[in-house]
Amino acid sequence: MPSKTCVLCQKANAILKRPKTGQQICKECFFTVFETEVHNTITTAKLFKPGDRVAIGASGGKDSTVLAHVMKTLNDRYNYGLQLFLLSIDEGITGYRDDSLETVKRNQIQYDLPLKILSYDELYGWTMDAIVEQIGRKNNCTFCGVFRRQALDRGAAMLEVDHIVTGHNADDIAETVLMNIMRGDIARLGRCTLICTQGEDTIKRSKPFKYAYEKEIVMYAYFKKLDYFSTECIYSPDAYRGHARVFLKDLEAARPSAIIDIIHSGEAFEVAEDVKIKDQQTCQRCGYISSNELCKACALLEGLERGIAGMGIKERRRLEKAAPAPENLRTIPVFPRAPKSNEKLPA
Ligand code: SF4
Ligand code: ZN
């Protein structure tokens, strides 16, 4: 079969079919279009300004490894003027996170970026292994998600960064849109496609890969020979998300634009971020931003410390009423706030 010419440069041989568009293109043109699309996403959404200190949430997986590589490349190529850091959270999952963190440590050397690792154990006094031992495998991802979110914010505050970027890709976002539709959760549906959220406290979070297809991220990592870790977490991921993923892959096989189309549909429900920020207060125990007296992490941690985290809600309430929280509960350290140049902090 005669080899085809790249439809973009019209010179080199096409060696791949671009998953997003079906175009037959060469390797160099693939790198260029992939990187340029991410650059366009960043500039259209005005994600950064010169001098920003930005932490890349790094797990050692394909998405965050490609993100670290692309952020460094674009920062150099287009003079964004960013100070980049790698920020990793160690959930304490033996046989999974310990291995993936070794990858992040190699990435730190390969990309010459400072790395901060923060563990659930040092922050909460609990590893995911210990949490699963107490609560079983049913709600482990709820604990892990709440703890990770706050750990990332705390790590970012320690690094005094303004902004965290994460490797969430177009497939992840389209899956979330589908899940929120299937659950009828309109509030989350309105937030899940936002490229940038003013995270908890003052730290911004954004998703430069919002429009990058997972298949293209894998292809990019493969052709660039990037060093990443590809094993799934041993504590089975969210089963409901699994259904949305299978459904999305079927749709993508029939029509590749389905992923972007679903994101665009979700965007029609977007709400302004500041609407939800207004009624926030700070957690009475740890100072982290919260909509209740206790932040979610402190509430979950109290359940673990009292040994009632794995119980049903009725049984929990009964025990909580019968015995209020003891004074000497292990708690999370007070939230370290990153000082902002335009913000007055209490003396
Ligand atoms: Fe945590 Fe669940 Fe993800 Fe494993 S699959 S890292 S337990 S959120
Ligand atoms: Zn708290």
CATH code for the domain in which residue 69 is found: 3.40.50.620
Q: Kindly report each contact of residues 3-8 with a partner whose C-beta sits within 8 Å and lies 24 or more positions away, as own/partner.
A: 8/32, 8/33
Average pLDDT value for residue range 158-173: 96
Q: Are residues 166 and 305 in the same domain?
A: no
Residue identified by tokens 């015995």 is: 323
Is the four-CA dihedral 168, 337, 130, 59 of positive or negative sign?
Answer: positive
58 known ligand binder: yes
Residue 207 lies in a domain: yes
Q: Ligand 1 pocket by C-beta < 6 Å: which residues?
A: 91, 128, 140-141, 144-145, 233, 235, 237
- Select from 217, 252, 272 the last residue of a domain: 272
Q: Are residues 129 and 254 in the same domain?
A: yes
Structure tokens at 233: 């977490």
Q: Whose C-alpha lies nearest to ligand 1, atom 6?
A: 233
Phi, psi of 17 (to 5 degrees): -105, 120
Average pLDDT value for residue range 72-81: 98
Q: Are residues 239 and 299 in the same domain?
A: no
Q: What is the mean pLDDT of the chain?
A: 89
Average pLDDT value for residue range 39-51: 97
Q: Which of 127-141, 280-294, 301-315 has the highest mean pLDDT?
A: 127-141
Residue range(s) defining the domain that contains residue 212: 44-272
31 contacts 220 by C-beta, under 8 angstroms: yes
Question: Residue 340 pLDDT more than 80?
Answer: no
Residue 14 lies in a domain: no
Q: Are residues 267 and 284 in the same domain?
A: no
* 34 pLDDT tier (thresholds 50, 70, 90): very high
pTM of the model: 0.89
Q: Are residues 260 and 309 in the same domain?
A: no
Q: For 176-231, what is each residue's pLDDT tens digit?
A: 999 999 999 999 999 999 999 875 556 899 999 999 999 999 999 999 999 999 88
CA 12 – CA 16 distance, rounded (Å): 12
pLDDT for 314: 72
Burial of residue 153 (number of CB atoms within 10 Å: 0-12, 13-18, 19+)? buried
Residue 111 lies in a domain: yes
171 known ligand binder: no
Residue 173 lies in a domain: yes
Residue identified by tokens 């960043």 is: 42
CA 272 – CA 128 distance, rounded (Å): 34
pLDDT for 337: 65
Which atom of ligand 1 lies at the shortest distance from residue 237's CA? Answer: 5
